Amino acid sequence: MFRFLAGKYTESTAWLATPRARLFQQYERRVLQRILPRMTGYRCVQIGSWGNDRCALQSAGTLCHWQLGFGDESPADIRFDGRHLPLASASVDAIVVAHGLERVAQPHALLRECARVLNARGQLVILAFNPLSLWALRQGMPSHRHPTFRPCSAPPSASRLCDWLRLLEFEPEQLWRYGLGFPFFGGAHEVAHGSRWARCVGWSAQSYAVVARRHVAPRTRIGRPVRARHTRPAVGLARHSSGRVICRR
């Protein structure tokens, strides 16, 4: 449904400057205000300066916040190529991917890097556009009146993204659906605790947010096998002698 933009990353500056895009960011900020206070720890990293807005992480429960940008994003604290995060392994407590999967050429590589830098109980929040929505269908149509959002790669659906996260030892905990148009018109609903009608038509929402926690299974170290000592069984008189036992009185 989307029209992809091959090559480097795109910020879609023209689309972000539209009134509908600014209104969408306001609704998305409300969703983050419900999610981020539950995140605890010391370090929180936001990947992608989505709309050059730093107030999205102010509601997070972590102590320190950093922002990583793609390519030439000047407001970001650190810039990287979208495939290799300049962070040490298991050094981050929480990561917020603000529509970063749509703006990189290899979203799988970005998810693997997030799994690498998160600690054993780290939390991951992913904001992504829904490729099955009516809004995505409209972005794929040619239009000269209104700017369109053109991602670098196809954004995955919510169910497929959850499958990717499970393969990377993540456990999805929450799924939020929200957007401007049908069916929520600016509202946000959590799929697990929402009403029945929201679960039935939530697949057509403009965007979604997945909250997952890293769950690393314990690995047992395999050492050298210990050889069992073979003890010689006690041999009785009846087994020791094959003939008749002579008994003298």
3-state secondary structure string across 159-180: HHHHHHHHHCCEEEEEEEEECC
Tokens of 131: 């490729």
For residues 104 and 114, the answer to whether their CB atoms sit within 8 Å is: no
User: pTM of the entire structure?
Assistant: 0.80
- pLDDT given for residue 173 in this prediction: 93
Cα–Cα dist 88/18, whole Å: 38
pLDDT tens-digit readout, 76-92: 788 888 888 999 999 99
Residue spans of the chain under pLDDT 70: 1-12, 51-56, 71-74, 143-144, 193-199, 217-249
Strand partners for 54: none
Cα–Cα dist 246/244, whole Å: 6
- pLDDT given for residue 53 in this prediction: 64
